[in-house]
Amino acid sequence: MSTVTPSSPVDRPLRTEGSSPVPGEALAGTVHSKPVNEAPTQPGRATGTGAAAWDPLTALTAGTAEPAARFRYDVRSGDWWWSPGMFDLHGLTEGEVEPTTELLMSHKHPEDLAATEQTLRSVLSTGEPFCCRHRVLDTHDQVREVLSVGEAVCDADGRIATVQGYFVDLTSAFAVATSQAAAEVLMVEARRPAIDPVIEQAKGALIAAFRLTAGAALELLTWRSEETGTDLAIVARGLVAEFHSVHDDDLSAARRACAYLGLTALDED
């Protein structure tokens, strides 16, 4: 098995052909000090209008899955923390197994594994926020379409201490979209709505904050719209207003977007 040591270059492969998924210590070996141009952010301190208006961890009725499964990786110890939704997303029961890097990677779709490893290596090297779409294979061999959003959190010395974020399950949304597309393909041009400039602005804000594609930005806005039962244009207008408003805090664009989308309170467990 190929592993990465602290002296290994960041671009060294995390695994070799036919090897097991990258172990936790291999990820930890890629950590570098993050270039900090502002005071290091503290975990769980995201604030904003969206955070006060809607808490995704309590908004759903009892017995339903979390709208966003949460995770946190401790760089120094190599330990992972998963919310109940993360276990459920992988077809597991909370406490059934200890979450590890090996477990996380073993459930990646083979076609998405390399890109996922590169995303992890990048955030451990640069500390920059990330947003990527990939597929998860649960214990029942069901494919889950997932959008992962996260960022690194630095200590007082500017070194990356934790990586934390969310997995948003888009499987149902994808299934609905696919079935609708089959029925509407012949009249799509006639029914195509005019492009809403506010939605385009909101997509642009998410693209800038997380460096994701236009399609992924629209999916994230649509997810928020469906979870809150709010019209997509209203969600987009609120996000644009949040970025145009004057704030007394020093939140990054990524944290402000997460706060508005309800992706908050990572460290309140």
**pLDDT (tens digit per residue) in 135-178:** 999 999 999 999 999 999 999 999 999 999 999 998 887 666 66
Amino acid letter, residue 249 = D
| Cβ-contact 123, 163 below 8 angstroms | yes
| Cβ-contact 230, 260 below 8 angstroms | no
**pLDDT (tens digit per residue) in 97-130:** 999 999 999 999 999 999 999 999 999 999 899 9
Q: Which residues, at least 6 apart from 143, have a Cβ–Cβ distance to it below 8 Å?
A: 109, 135, 136, 137, 171
Mean pLDDT, residues 235-248: 86
**pLDDT (tens digit per residue) in 186-235:** 554 444 455 688 899 999 989 988 888 888 889 899 999 998 899 999 99
For all residues of the chain together, what is the average pLDDT? 73
Query: Where along the chain do its domains lie?
Result: 24-260
- pTM comes to 0.55
**pLDDT tier, 245 (very low <50, low <70, confident <90, very high otherwise):** confident
CATH architecture for residues 24-260:
2-Layer Sandwich (3.30)
